Amino acid sequence: MPTPSLRAIVTLLSLIVLTACGDTTPPPDPVPGPLAYRLVSPNGDEGAALFSLPAGAVTDVAQDPAAAGTRTLFHEDDGVLYVAVIGTGHGEIRFRVEARDTRAPPAITLVEVVDPTNRIRPLAGYSLEVVR
């Protein structure tokens, strides 16, 4: 049986040492702060929208002052925060959150949208834009 070469032994030891010396830099501290979101609609004006997000990702939800005439309501249920934005049928669907970390914005899901006459719309084509 051939003996391992010195080069193979040194290479193996180097890999073991490099693997053991992983990055020990602590993660950066979270940067809390406000984030504003705007629903981008393929249909134009909307009547209302319902969103969900992890409750632990934010400390507060509020109406966005840029969306005059809308009403923002929220409710937490089993670790999920539901946010309803009720519009006037004219203008944007927007809301604000106080995020625990603005560098890692919460994952927000669009649950339902209704048109200005309260008919449910298909969710295809919608997106949510951070407008800070």
Q: What CATH number should be reported for the domain holding residue 59?
A: 2.60.40.680
Q: Residue 119: its pLDDT value, please?
A: 96
Query: Residue 46: inside a domain, yes or no?
Result: yes
Q: Is the pLDDT of residue 47 over 90?
A: yes
Confidence of residue 27 (pLDDT cuts 50, 70, 90): confident
Q: Is the pLDDT of residue 8 over 70?
A: no
Query: Residue 76: inside a domain, yes or no?
Result: yes
For residue range 62-98, what is the model confidence (pLDDT) as tens digits?
999 988 889 999 999 999 999 999 998 788 899 999 9
CA–centroid distance for 105 within its chain? 4
Query: Residue 19: inside a domain, yes or no?
Result: no
Query: Residue 90: inside a domain, yes or no?
Result: yes
Q: How many domains does the chain have?
A: 1
Burial class of residue 57, CB neighbours in 10 A (0-12, 13-18, 19+): middle
3-class SS of residue 10: helix
Query: Residue 14: inside a domain, yes or no?
Result: no
What global pTM score does this model have? 0.78
Nearest to 95 by CA among 39, 18, 45: 39
Q: Is the pLDDT of residue 2 over 60?
A: no
Q: Residue 7: its pLDDT value, please?
A: 75
Query: Residue 23: inside a domain, yes or no?
Result: no
Q: Residue 5: its pLDDT value, please?
A: 73
Query: Residue 17: inside a domain, yes or no?
Result: no
Quote the CA–CA distance of 9 and 122 in Å, as a whole number.
Answer: 62
Query: Residue 80: inside a domain, yes or no?
Result: yes
**Domain range holding 92?**
33-130
